[in-house]
């Protein structure tokens, strides 16, 4: 009888613990899409990283064959924190080697910034190789 009650109590506690899991707190986000070009041509398979100036997590995207991107905050959640962001763009060279094909001013020593507002944001970048 005591074992049965103890088993029931443990089962109730386990179910309560499972039910108490909380979803991550998602701040207000702005949807961010855009196009990235290099010397006027679409930058394909480039990684785009928006890092907020204040607290918050980064948002990331990869450009498609037309240089277009749409930022993701978490898996299944699109957008970026509202406010000012440092932007880093990286791309492998044409041989798809890990060697960076963009000037450092776009990634390691980025000069790129963006302001994300509530609602939809279109933020394009026209990069220059020289």
Q: Which candidate, 93, 95, 125, places its Cα nearest to that of 110?
A: 125
The domain limits of the chain are 29-127
Full-model pTM: 0.78
Q: Which candidate, 99, 104, 116, places its Cα nearest to that of 59?
A: 116
d(CA 91, CA 69): 13
Tell me: the pLDDT tens digits for 38-96?
999 999 999 999 999 988 899 999 999 999 999 999 999 999 999 999 999 998 655 55
Q: How high is the pLDDT of residue 98?
A: 46
Residue 115 has pLDDT above 70, yes or no: yes
CATH superfamily name and code, 29-127: Immunoglobulins (2.60.40.10)
d(CA 43, CA 91): 8
Q: How high is the pLDDT of residue 101?
A: 74
d(CA 8, CA 2): 10
Q: Is 38 exposed, middle or buried (0-12, 13-18, 19+ CB in 10 A)?
A: buried
Mean pLDDT over the full length of the chain? 85
Q: What are phi and psi of 86, to 5 degrees?
A: -85, 140
Residue 36 has pLDDT above 90, yes or no: yes
In the chain, % of residues over pLDDT 70: 75
d(CA 74, CA 71): 9
Confidence of residue 35 (pLDDT cuts 50, 70, 90): very high
In this prediction, residues 110-122 reach a mean pLDDT of 97
Confidence of residue 20 (pLDDT cuts 50, 70, 90): low
In the chain, % of residues over pLDDT 90: 64
């Amino acid at each position: 009888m005591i074992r049965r009650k103890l088993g029931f109590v443990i089962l109730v506690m386990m179910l309560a613990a499972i039910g108490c899991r909380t979803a991550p707190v998602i701040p207000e986000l702005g949807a961010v899409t855009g196009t990235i070009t290099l010397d006027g041509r679409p930058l394909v398979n480039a990684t785009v990283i928006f890092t907020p100036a204040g607290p918050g997590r980064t948002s990331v995207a990869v450009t498609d064959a037309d240089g277009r991107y749409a930022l993701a905050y978490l898996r299944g959640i699109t957008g970026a924190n509202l406010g000012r962001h440092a932007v880093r763009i990286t791309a492998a060279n044409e041989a798809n080697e890990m060697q960076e094909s963009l000037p450092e001013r776009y990634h390691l020593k980025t000069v790129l910034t963006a302001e994300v507002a509530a609602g939809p944001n279109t933020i394009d970048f026209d990069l220059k190789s020289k």
